[in-house]
Structure 1
Amino acid sequence: MSLSIPNLLFVEPNHYAGGYVSPEALEQVKAAGITHVIDMLPDNEHGGFDEAGLAGELGLFYAHLPILGGHDLSRDNAEALDRLLAEAGDSKVLVHCMSGNRVGALFALRAHWVQGLPAVEALQVGRRYGLTKLEPLVIQLIGL
């Protein structure tokens, strides 16, 4: 599948993670059969693009879970991500932020705090989902 999304990763069956989604990329998402979009960008990072509005026009399920930075890497947000993924069931889901780093960080925390994976395994999950610059903070939060 070819989508013009930076750092796009196909991680698990039906899970995609990546960076910024433009209007054109969102149309590609729909054409690719992805039905759920979880957007971790804060409002000020959309550059004037109404992602929620276009997602609605395209018939996509859209959820906004803004993660501005490290202070938003919380148990509450990890649990919110888990609920959104559970609601999606077996549907194809794209989770994105600007680069994919915040996506990976929250997936690592979800793996540890919600799913109960050991810290080392949770960190590996985060890396598979795009964790990069926030890794030192994630390591601290999961107690490695």
Structure 2
Amino acid sequence: MNRLPLSGLLLLAITACAPAVMRGDALPALANVARPMPGVVSAGRLLPADIAVLDKAGVRQVIDLTVDSETPDFDERARVKAAGMRYENLPIAGPHDLTRENVARFDRLLRDARRPVVVHCASSNRVGAMAALRAAWIDGQPVERAIAEGRRWGLKGLEPAVRERLAGNDAAAPVNP
């Protein structure tokens, strides 16, 4: 009995079912890039040339937290989809959009994402704010741990707004995603 073809088929089956992994270090060229968890990259604004870099690196999905008016000359959705990646948009314009409903949607998008996934806004600050609120409201983390998690994702200038939301009377009540 020849075992070589069977072992070859087994190897093919294993690699076909394995989760996608980002190739190389192509992503550090992105603005404000961080890898806060396996298979997830947080970043700042994507430029048109970045889409080919993401595709080459093996990224399977982009979650965009910007509003369309931020990049009127760049149809990110069309470019990402044309490259064969999934695209989701959760527009977070500023502190007023840091709501429990948006955090629950952010959590669903992350849980359902095809990995590797890039989550971005203009500077990664909104990404970090959403990650901090998710850590508190979804994962039940205490405020300082949630803030630290947000910083790992890119939280900077929105930290006071995040702290304000976490200091509210309902800060301890978890969101049902």
What's the TM-score once normalised by structure 2's chain length? 0.78
The aligned residue for residue 142 of structure 1 is: 166
- Structure 1, unmatched stretches of 5+, are none
Percent identity, aligned pairs only, is 41
The aligned residue for residue 87 of structure 1 is: 112
Out of 6, 29, 37, the residue aligned to residue 12 of structure 1 is 37
Report the Cα distance in structure 2 between the residues aligned to 1:137 and 1:80, rounded to whole angstroms: 19
The aligned residue for residue 2 of structure 1 is: 26
Shift of 1:73: 0.5
Out of 133, 149, 155, the residue aligned to residue 125 of structure 1 is 149
Report the Cα distance in structure 1 between the residues aligned to 2:40 and 2:81, rounded to whole angstroms: 20
Shift of 1:47: 3.5
1:31 aligned onto 2:56? yes
Structure of greater Rg: 2
Out of 131, 145, 149, the residue aligned to residue 107 of structure 1 is 131
Report the Cα distance in structure 1 between the residues aligned to 2:117 and 2:132, rounded to whole angstroms: 17
Report the Cα distance in structure 2 between the residues aligned to 1:18 and 1:52, rounded to whole angstroms: 16
Shift of 1:135: 0.5
How many residue pairs get aligned? The number is 143
Report the Cα distance in structure 2 between the residues aligned to 1:30 and 1:108, rounded to whole angstroms: 28
Shift of 1:12: 1.1
The aligned residue for residue 78 of structure 2 is: 53
1:96-141, Cα deviation, whole Å (9 max, x unpaired): 0000100000110011111111111111110000000011111111
Query: Stretches of 4+ moved more than 4 A in 1?
Result: none
Report the Cα distance in structure 2 between the residues aligned to 1:21 and 1:80, rounded to whole angstroms: 21
Report the Cα distance in structure 1 between the residues aligned to 2:52 and 2:108, rounded to whole angstroms: 25
- Aligned residue for 1:62, secondary structure, equals strand
The residue type equivalent to 1:141 in the other structure is R
- Aligned residue for 1:109, secondary structure, equals helix
Larger RCO, structure (CA 8 Å, separation 6 or more): 1
Shift of 1:2: 2.5
